[in-house]
Chains A and B, each alone.
Chain A
Amino acid sequence: MLLISCPWCGEREEIEFSYGGQAHVGYPQDPRALSDEEWGQYLFVRDNPKGLFLERWVHSQGCRRWFNIARHTVTHGITAIYKPGEPPPPPA
């Protein structure tokens, strides 16, 4: 069980949150200009690193707001939590 510190509500248990996958994946600027391969990449392909991962979570059982987390996918250690629109932490 992860302990996650919501930027608005503070530390809560993982069961209050829902996972949103990789962070900082923007909607394509001009979707009509994309080839089928590029559109497939946008729809289906996300990073899957063994190590630090920038990912989105939502406090669905609390304030229902989204935010970003930098978490290690082996140790599960959380090294940064930041609000949408804020820059990600510099890579260590």
Chain B
Amino acid sequence: MQRFSFPSLVRNALSHHERWKPFWRDAAPKQRYDVIIIGGGGHGLATAYYLAKNHGITRVAVLEKGWIGSGNTGRNTTIIRSNYLWNESAAIYEHALKLWEGLSEELNINLMFSQRGVLNLAHSLSDVREGMRRVEANKLNGIDAEWCTPAQVKEFCPIIDVSPTTRYPVMGATLQRRAGVARHDTVAWGYARAADSLGVDIIENCEVTGVLRENGGVAGVRTTRGNIMADKIGIVAAGHSSVVAAMADIRLPLQSHPLQALVSESMKPIHPCVVMSNAVHVYVSQSDKGELVIGAGIDAYNSYSQRGSFHVIEHQMAALIELFPIFSRVRMLRTWAGIVDVCPDASPIISKTPVRGLFINCGWGTGGFKATPSSGWAFAHTIATGNPHPHNAPFTLERFSTGALIDEHGAAAVAH
């Protein structure tokens, strides 16, 4: 791997930045690997990286049907936080946050990870109670969390309208100061580059069309670039998880929905943190480029089309202007949607499957980006050892028959 450093920047400046090497090789598929990862998003690439780094398994292929960063990795609103309610979620999301805190150094790439703080607003008495409960639950799990009064909210984010006369007045907020944002596509590129340097083959434009099976286990995959064999396969296909799992006759408790987001024109720094509101369905931060990055709730209907209905955006903009009257004349530049795989309990599935050698990491729904490092870490452990890591042991497929659900609809903070 060509490492970034001050001398390397100077050297490449002298050659007009024309001699930088590509981040990863344009690998052609080999006939056989130890592990195949289906899906080259952040979670899949992180899985491949930790398979190589933590478990020494380097004969790994990551198969991506488009290009790296073309799916949800490049479509999310980049928010990172770990203030989830239940112990199981707190463990895995907090592990992710701790990994984020050293990830730029580890991957030798600037992820622009900015711990600017996340406010989750409360607009009703039940929001207040739920928020306070979550703050205390977070503290018990060693996660930094604070309860803010409306005045404290105003102090932390001066552009919010906290007046009691608005339609949905701000009655307080939870604050996680260690939470923040990161540059999303650099996360995929960084993991891809680091995994590639450890020997992982990243194969783009390679769509999986079938799962080959032998004696009750997996044998490989059929792809648009030929058959590729492996005894272990991990599905990390986000919104298309149901489609890929169906190739191995597995039905998942997932529904795929569009989740929309949009960005505004660039502005001077005005918004100092991340603000999320469950009740009025908007979350917003300002990127380092100066755009407001704004997310909505999901579209109600099932879809695989990466676009949603306009009324969802209209609703989201109304909420934005209610909270931030200062943004009323900001123009929006681009809107898009990603396909999110929503689980009934708003928690992920990182699990073995009834098919031997086939593993699945899905159901991250509206909030997978923040968990990218720990998701890859736990999934790599599961694939390498055949047993779940303590962090993902509760997140099995079986919980939908045992009833041990992990209900995070409150902490997920996006309307489902």
Contact = CB atoms under 8 A, between A and B. Distances in A.
A44 B346 CA distance: 12
B351 interface: no
A18 B301 CA distance: 9
Contacts of A37: 401
A43 B252 CA distance: 12
Interface in B224-253: 240, 242-243, 251-253
Interface string A43-85: 1111111100101000000000000000101111000000000
B108 to A, nearest CB: 38
A36 interface: yes
Contact of B400 (A40, A49, A55, A76): A40
Contacts of B252: 45, 48
Contacts of A45: 251-253, 400
Interface of A: 1-2, 13-15, 18-19, 21, 36-37, 39-41, 43-50, 53, 55, 71, 73-76
A2 B307 CA distance: 12
B302 interface: yes
A21 B243 contact: no
Contact of B303 (A40, A44, A46, A74): A74
B254 A19 contact: no
B304 interface: yes
Provide the main secondary structure of the chain A interface.
mixed
A50 B22 CA distance: 35
A46 B301 contact: no
A1 B311 contact: yes
Given A1-B311, A21-B255, A50 B243 contact: yes
The residue among A14, A37, A47, A48 with the most chain B CB atoms within 10 A of its own CB is A48
Given A45-B251, A73-B302, A74-B304, A39 B309 contact: no
Contacts of A14: 309, 311
Contact of A55 (B251, B256, B302, B305): B302
B402 A36 contact: yes
B239 to A, nearest CB: 9
Given A1-B310, A19-B300, A53-B302, A44 B400 contact: yes
18 contacts: A1-B309, A1-B311, A2-B301, A2-B309, A18-B300, A19-B301, A21-B255, A40-B400, A41-B251, A44-B253, A46-B253, A48-B242, A48-B254, A48-B255, A50-B242, A73-B256, A73-B304, A74-B305
The residue among A21, A44, A53 with the most chain B CB atoms within 10 A of its own CB is A44
